[in-house]
Every structure is written in C-alpha cells, then in structure tokens.
C-alpha cells in the first residue's frame, strides 16, 4: 500500500538526520582533513542518502502487478514469478527493491522490477 506523505516525510527526515550526524562524527574524528578528504566523505554520504531516498520512495509506491509484461527482446508475454527483493543498479548506485519478478522462457531473461533492469537469470 502506498505510504502517506507524512510517513514518507518522517522517514526521509530520519535518514537525513542520520547522514548529517555521520558527517558531524567524521568531522570530529578528523582534526585536519584536506579538501579531497572532505569531498570524499561528502560524496560517500550523498550517495548513501540518495540510495536510501530512492529505496524509500520506490517502496512507498503501490505494489500493482501489471496485467502483461512483454520481453524486450522477444516481445512475448513474460511469466510472473512472484515478488522478491533484489539489489539493482541505478543512477544513484546500488539500491535494494522489492517487487514483481517476470521471466521469459524464450531467452531466459528476468525483469525486476518491470522495465527498470534486465538480466540473465
């Protein structure tokens, strides 16, 4: 079920505060970092927060099974294999998602979640 806006906002605020605290803790333990070290930790934490935000928003969406998913290679209807959790590559890095998994018996490819990534299974 889709999460309420206030619930999603509270999750995002908690995640953001945790990342800010991690930066503050790092700053306390590094007395004289150079610019590159500061940039490295900020970029690392930005990636971590970005991944968490994407996971949270995707997880908040209603989980609806499409009536029909077609194989991008063969155009055939793919079989629904149920829901599963999976780490997928995204533009913000690797994220863990839970969603429907579809399988093409012709080319043995799976799609998870539909349309976002194709892989050999």
- Render each residue's pLDDT in the chain as its tens digit; 121 residues: 566 788 889 989 999 999 999 999 999 999 999 999 999 999 999 999 999 888 888 777 655 566 678 888 888 888 888 877 888 888 888 888 877 788 888 888 888 765 554 443 3
Domain holding 44, by residue range, is 5-60
pLDDT at 58: 78
Query: Residue 54 falls within a domain, yes or no?
Result: yes
- Does one domain contain both 40 and 83? no
**What's the total number of domains in the chain?**
2
pLDDT at 121: 38
pTM: 0.61
- Does one domain contain both 12 and 52? yes
- Does one domain contain both 50 and 11? yes
- Give the pairing of strands 79-90 and 93-103: antiparallel
């Amino acid at each position: 079920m889709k999460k309420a806006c206030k619930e999603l906002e509270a999750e995002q605020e908690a995640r953001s505060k945790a990342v800010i605290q991690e930066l503050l803790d790092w700053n306390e333990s590094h007395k004289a970092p150079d610019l590159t070290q500061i940039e490295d930790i900020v970029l690392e934490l930005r990636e971590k927060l970005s991944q968490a935000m994407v996971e949270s928003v995707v997880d908040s969406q209603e989980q609806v099974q499409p009536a029909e998913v077609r194989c991008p290679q063969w155009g055939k209807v793919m079989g629904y294999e149920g829901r599963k959790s999976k780490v997928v590559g995204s533009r913000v890095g690797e994220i863990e998602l839970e969603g429907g998994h579809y399988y093409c018996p012709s080319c043995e490819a799976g799609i998870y979640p539909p349309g976002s990534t194709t892989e050999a299974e």
